[in-house]
């Protein structure tokens, strides 16, 4: 099971890049906000460009929020059962309301 761990020293980060003919399905997300100076509002976005179709000759980049999570300063959060059924067809991207290197995120996923 692949995984990635990041610190949110910048407000926006790509966790996993799009995989051809595969969906990214998170199996667990661990958020450690204990060393952060403020509460964290996190948005996990699915970022992709659709295929060309008969109706859309020039598709534009799409950003779809898949998860919205709030974590208090000094807290940790573990998500497993809560994210069943969540999937990303493009890049899995995370946005934190305010950049804070004290916020650490582990993203464990499967490719389907």
Q: What is 3-111's CATH number, 2.60.120, 2.70.98, 1.10.10, 1.10.730? A: 2.60.120
Per-residue model confidence as pLDDT tens digits over 22-54: 999 999 999 999 999 999 999 999 999 988 877
Is 63's pLDDT higher than 90?
A: yes
Q: Name residue 31's beta-bridge partners.
A: 77, 105
What are the structural domain ranges in the chain?
A: 3-111
Per-residue model confidence as pLDDT tens digits over 78-110: 999 999 999 999 999 999 999 999 999 999 999
DSSP string, 70-92: EE-TT-EEEESGGGTT--BSSEE
Residues 6+ apart with CB under 8 A from 60: 49
- pTM (2 d.p.): 0.92
Which one is predicted more confidently, 19 or 95?
Answer: 95
């Amino acid at each position: 099971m692949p995984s990635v761990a990041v610190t949110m020293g910048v407000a926006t980060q790509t966790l996993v890049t799009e995989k051809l003919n595969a969906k990214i399905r998170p199996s667990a997300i661990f958020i450690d906000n204990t060393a952060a100076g403020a509460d964290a509002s996190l948005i996990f976005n699915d970022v992709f460009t659709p295929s060309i179709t008969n109706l859309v000759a020039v598709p534009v980049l799409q950003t779809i929020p898949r998860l919205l999570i709030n974590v208090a300063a000094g807290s940790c959060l573990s998500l497993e059962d809560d994210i069943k059924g969540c999937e990303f067809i493009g890049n899995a991207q995370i946005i934190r309301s305010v950049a804070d290197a004290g916020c650490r995120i582990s993203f464990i996923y499967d490719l389907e």
